[in-house]
A = this chain, B = another copy of it.
């Protein structure tokens, strides 16, 4: 039956009917009919962010856990622009995200009022764009955008002028968008990979990404490794990887291209399952962009394809039976040891609660944690896929909204954390079970490393200042308190172990500033 509803109500209805349950929002004047509709149409929960990059990063984190798109609600071009960095990360994570962006009333657009800008051009840099040109097409545009996001595993944007949101018209119940799905891998592709791995034997490499990093995918990969003796790698920055709980110990492909190339270039076959082709993160003089030797790359499954199923078939084809084990546990650090990347990684890995979700942003403690976490209890890791910093805290927030029954840990470097510290406020408001661990070295350490790589070991005064966060030192305990999150400081292994265990067992948001 066709109901008489506003365009905004038609949009929320179509979204709810297509399975959208959450909308991470920072609306403005041109989205007020949508704000009103979120109350009039049941089914979509609104979560306010104090900055749009919190909203888009949370939508990314949410969808990494649920597999289905959340909405964002953003105000015109500037609102979308503010959220683009984390949409870039979502694009690189192959995460479905659907942005709803208001625009000026359609007849007002030619007047170049102050907030007018090219919204479609901004949106096109991260995904598909659907501009609503009349009240009648709102429901269908919304359904198509969600369909795009689920089908292409990416970002889509609906631009809705305010007048079309306001007008009432009869609306048929929309056909729901399709559920997310991954394209199957053809049998010949699997057979070819099997033949290449048989020939390569123990010199083969299997590089996992996408849904190959599910529990089932990794078990299948472990069976293959046990059978042929090949080396397993995870992509360097997985969108989502299951980890620990008896899974095989799989290293991430090293970040720096020389090191990564060194482990790949001896392999006669590098089979890629669900990951992008292994290329250098940045281009450095004298280091090739492509990390494999010509003729050795074998694409089993692209990031949007069903790599997990392909690995299961591959393991069966190779006659692989038992998976490799997780490898030995590490020696835990002593209670009085100072905090460093290594000791932080080990404490967090050893104290992790069962089924935790860990959002990792930043290298200082991120890399050591990944190494140590192979022998942890079972958990899920989310990382910064696109390199646009300010992703870790919003992603943790979104994951916590997606899985309120699971503890969430954000292992966060300080420089990147300062980009979107506003996420702490929404964690407090929604009382999400997130424990934020800030590795506070008061430096953009990665940039100091890069300056040295560029041959600038003797920093000038300006280079030193541009890579230092020490003057003044940000007080993370005060910052968290300002946003309503209880916070503590830890200066040694024993203090971190104690405060971290307390935080994850007491529920609700907490922050621990780790003095490195």
Which residues of A does B touch, CB under 8 Å? 25, 27-30, 32-33, 35-36, 38-40, 45-46, 48, 50-51, 53, 77-78, 81-82, 84-85, 88, 92, 104-105, 107-108, 110-115, 117-118, 121-122, 124-126, 162-163, 166, 237, 276-277, 279-285, 289-290, 385-390, 415, 418-419, 421-422, 425, 428-429, 446-447, 450-451, 453-454, 456, 459-463, 465-467, 469, 471-476, 478-479, 481-484
* Given A78-B386, A82-B419, A478-B481, 9 other A-B residues pairs in contact with their CB atoms under 8 A: A29-B446, A32-B450, A78-B387, A81-B88, A81-B388, A105-B285, A107-B283, A162-B283, A472-B483
CA distance A229 to B456 in the complex (A): 66
Chain B CB within 10 Å — which of A27, A117, A386 has the most?
A: A117
Tally of this chain's copies: 2
Are B279 and A387 closer than 8 Å at their CB atoms?
A: no
Chain B residues contacting A415 (CB-CB under 8 Å) are 50
Are A111 and B428 closer than 8 Å at their CB atoms?
A: no
Give min CB distance, A31 to chain B, whole Å.
9
Give min CB distance, A468 to chain B, whole Å.
8
Give min CB distance, A112 to chain B, whole Å.
7
CA distance A462 to B71 in the complex (A): 15
A419-B50 contact, Cβ under 8 Å, with A35-B463, A114-B385, A276-B112 = yes
**8 Å CB contact of A472 from B124, B166, B425:** B425
Are A111 and B422 closer than 8 Å at their CB atoms?
A: no
Give min CB distance, A239 to chain B, whole Å.
11
Are B166 and A454 closer than 8 Å at their CB atoms?
A: yes
Are A456 and B32 closer than 8 Å at their CB atoms?
A: yes
Are A429 and B472 closer than 8 Å at their CB atoms?
A: yes
Give min CB distance, A441 to chain B, whole Å.
15
**8 Å CB contact of A283 from B105, B425, B463, B481:** B105
Chain B residues contacting A472 (CB-CB under 8 Å) are 425, 428-429, 483-484
CA distance A33 to B285 in the complex (A): 13
CA distance A32 to B459 in the complex (A): 11
